[in-house]
Chains A and B, each alone.
Chain A
Amino acid sequence: MSEHDISETVDEAELPAVAEPFKGEHPIVIEGLKNSFGDHVIHEDLSLTVNRGEIIGVVGGSGTGKSVLMRSIIGLQIPDHGTIEVLGSSITDARDDDDIDIRSRWGVLFQGGALFSTLTVAENVEVPLLEFYPEIDPELRHEIARYKVMLSGLPEEAAAKYPAELSGGMKKRAGLARALALDPEVLFLDEPTAGLDPIGAAAFDRLTKELQETLGLTVFLITHDLDTLYEICDRVAVLAEKKVIAVGTIPELLALDHPWIQEYFNGPRGRAAQDSQARGGKASRDAKSADSVDNSNVEGA
């Protein structure tokens, strides 16, 4: 990418108009979704509505199609049937990639980070800025990249590093920085804490929550991490039997008499997470309000 001042060559009249921020109640609405690979049906008649400003956790056994659901929502997987609306515009009616004009308004963190391996972390963050807003000065772009890197909890030296030089946890944070590059309204996180140590995972949870509160994000979060569910999710959607069998807060889900849900939340790990929530919930909430978005990644909850 050239350091040349693109802004002078950009014809401002040709820039697309910018949509108003989404004012509706439900930024993501899925109805009657069906996905299949050959004969193997992943989703059948799946419906889910996400409220604005909430962190919704999506859980389900391995192979229940959590990632496929996310890929469908962001337009990477074309469903067989059903409609998906994100921020009021339809994903399923889009004829091709260019039709999805809300891509500057969501951020996606893939499981492995999916950083561009030939660019440094900061350059990774700059890619969406350069793509959608070429009129921004290179200088401001670099500044944005730097503070996003810091905001995601990376040390400032990390900005100039290549993805191959980063650890798994740092890659996730760098991926988060790129997902946040355009101040999105909706954030998709695919197993953000998988493969992180408990301290790093707790810090990542806190970071997600703080960013959601500060920036007013709606977060669609796929996870296996029960601590994450208890700690930061406003509601949890349970994926089983090819559809969303229940959506609600964890106490609401616990009241349901479904064997998989009971086993999931009342298994040994579920109990441990419940206990730690009961014991540490108050303390961690205090810690949360004390420091705002912090850049330290050392203190555990």
Chain B
Amino acid sequence: MREWADFTTDAKEGGASTIALTGALTVSCIGPLDRRLRALDQPIDKIDLSGVSAIDTVGAWTAWRTARDHDAEIVGASDQAERLIAAIKDSNSTADIAPPRAEIIERVPAAVGDLVIGWGEGTVGVVGFLGALMVSAGHTIKKPSKLRIKALIRQIELVGVSALGIIGLMCFLVGIVIAQQGAVQLQQFGAEFYTINLTGRLAMRELGVLMTAIMVAGRSGSAFAAQLGTMKLTEEVDAMRTIGVSPVEALIIPRVLAAVLMMPLLGFYAAVMAIIGGAFLANFALDIPFFTFLSRIQEVVPMHDVWVGMIKAPFFGLIIALAGCYQGMQVKANAEEVGIRTTMAVVQAIFMVIVLDAFFAIFFTKVGWG
């Protein structure tokens, strides 16, 4: 329990009274006193500080403000109290503590307007970003020695090699789920042997690449955005520019290239792991031996299913890397923006991957690879 500061009123004839403050006028003890002083509405002509045991700037401020509001005089102040009051008196201010907030009727249209303008600027920004990337890619193709091999290898390790464990495990489990759910339905027609077709074709065409894309967007797309965003904040990107290193060549090309190169490999690996998961389940739940399942895959999965998956993969990688790098390079103000941009990079990447996947599905069916 705290010893709160207190006050006593000494009413005199004529209405005006003296307020005697007592106790410690410090930030820790002043809360309730301040509230009570504010509520006073009687005239006051003197504020007596002689009963005050300790004082800090908050106490000095409260006493001085009360004196100012009631046009009263401060008496009995110690040397320290006088010094503090003199110090804070000059620091009186009525400024806003936060930027003024507009009425909701203004705020909503303003937010919508900002959003629309943001879309427009975003479109221009993306086009500009793509242009810068094309130019740099052109430079790199003309002069392959400009390609930063070390950075590329490093990104390949981060995007590809270190993702093998989690993608493999995830797709193995997804393979089990697909085979099990498929088998339950197909058993009703006595056609559980077709679980092999279902698992194999689905894994090669869609699942492997799509699950990989989602995982890469979550692991690497977010990392790209956060890394580049932080580098923008710490002016590393500006420093690169000033010493003649193009940030696009040094930072973005290796990341984009790594994602484009790794996605097909990861996608194929993921599909294989999903099939192994399916075979694993079939071995125990459907009495289809493991190796029978695998050899049947060769017969029931047409070669073009593999191509469908492999053709889509680099495009997905490109989208993920572009979204990550673009959002990262847009960071300007503060640490909060890094978080927002990282989220946007992942959300946009996954969304665009799925939209593109739908287009690819229709396209490949039309060209006869159904």
Name A residues whose Cβ lies closer than 8 Å to a Cβ of B: 7, 12-13, 15, 17-18, 21, 104, 117-118, 120, 122-123, 126, 129, 132-133, 135-137, 139-140, 142-151, 156-157, 159-164, 182-183, 210, 214-216, 292-295
Q: Does B222 contact A (CB under 8 A)?
A: no
Q: In the complex, what residue of chain B is closest to A105 when comparing beta carbons?
A: B28
| B-chain residues with CB within 8 Å of residue A15 when the two chains form the complex | 1-2
Sample 8 A-B pairs with CB under 8 A, ordered by A number.
A18-B2, A104-B28, A118-B336, A120-B99, A140-B30, A147-B93, A159-B97, A292-B90
List residues of B (83-123) whose CB comes within 8 Å of A's CBs: 83-84, 86-88, 90-100
Smallest CB separation, B163 vs chain A (Å): 30
Smallest CB separation, B34 vs chain A (Å): 5
Q: Does B65 contact A (CB under 8 A)?
A: yes
On whether the beta carbons of A151 and B87 are closer than 8 Å, the reply is: yes
Interface locus among B55-63, B171-179, B289-297: B55-63
| Cα–Cα distance between A80 and B61 once the two chains are bound (Å) | 44
Q: Which of B2, B84, B93: most chain A Cβ within 10 A?
A: B93
On whether the beta carbons of B27 and A129 are closer than 8 Å, the reply is: yes
Q: Contacts A15-B2, A136-B34, A142-B97: A150 and B62 contacting too (C-beta < 8 A)?
A: no
On whether the beta carbons of B32 and A135 are closer than 8 Å, the reply is: yes
**5 more A-B contacts (CB under 8 A) besides A146-B95, A215-B56?**
A18-B2, A118-B336, A142-B97, A150-B90, A156-B95
4 A-B pairs closest in CB distance: A122-B97, A150-B91, A135-B31, A117-B334
| Cα–Cα distance between A13 and B61 once the two chains are bound (Å) | 26
Q: Contacts A137-B38, A214-B87: A183 and B31 contacting too (C-beta < 8 A)?
A: no
On whether the beta carbons of A133 and B27 are closer than 8 Å, the reply is: yes
CB < 8 Å: which of B1, B31, B95 contacts A137?
B31
Q: Does B355 contact A (CB under 8 A)?
A: no
| Cα–Cα distance between A259 and B1 once the two chains are bound (Å) | 55
| Cα–Cα distance between A126 and B3 once the two chains are bound (Å) | 23
CB < 8 Å: which of A17, A104, A292 contacts B1?
A17
List residues of B (70-87) whose CB comes within 8 Å of A's CBs: 80, 83-84, 86-87
On whether the beta carbons of A147 and B34 are closer than 8 Å, the reply is: no
On whether the beta carbons of A150 and B97 are closer than 8 Å, the reply is: no
On whether the beta carbons of A18 and B28 are closer than 8 Å, the reply is: yes
Smallest CB separation, A139 vs chain B (Å): 7
| B-chain residues with CB within 8 Å of residue A139 when the two chains form the complex | 38
Q: Contacts A151-B88, A183-B56: A164 and B31 contacting too (C-beta < 8 A)?
A: no
Q: Contact mask B34-54 → A, CB, 8 Å, 1/0?
A: 110010000000000000001
| A-chain residues with CB within 8 Å of residue B30 when the two chains form the complex | 136, 140
Smallest CB separation, B98 vs chain A (Å): 5
| Cα–Cα distance between A76 and B288 once the two chains are bound (Å) | 61
On whether the beta carbons of A120 and B56 are closer than 8 Å, the reply is: no
Q: Contacts A120-B98, A183-B58: A136 and B87 contacting too (C-beta < 8 A)?
A: no
